[in-house]
Amino acid sequence: MVQYYDYVLGVIPLVLVGLTALLTLAGLELTAAIPVGAGVAALIIGHALFVNMPTHPTAESADTSQRVNAE
């Protein structure tokens, strides 16, 4: 099952390369397009780390998931 963080890991290089390429094709110099692409990728990483924080499963939630799978 694909989760939020799997999408984040896939989107980071796509944004970095894709946005840099789009900005370069739009006429922005490469030396300016790369920091913009990296900045947007950093914002995505920051969102994943601080806004939608990863959590560790507790023992209670692990027991519940095992009971649901057993049924």
Q: Torsion angle of alpha carbons 16, 17, 23, 28, nearest 10°?
A: 90
Does the pLDDT of residue 59 top 70, yes or no?
no
pTM of the model: 0.71
Question: What is the percent of the chain with per-residue pLDDT over 70, rounded to a whole number?
Answer: 79
User: Sign (positive/negative) of CA torsion 51, 56, 60, 62?
Assistant: positive
Above 90 in pLDDT, residue 22? Answer: yes
Note the pLDDT of residue 44.
Answer: 94
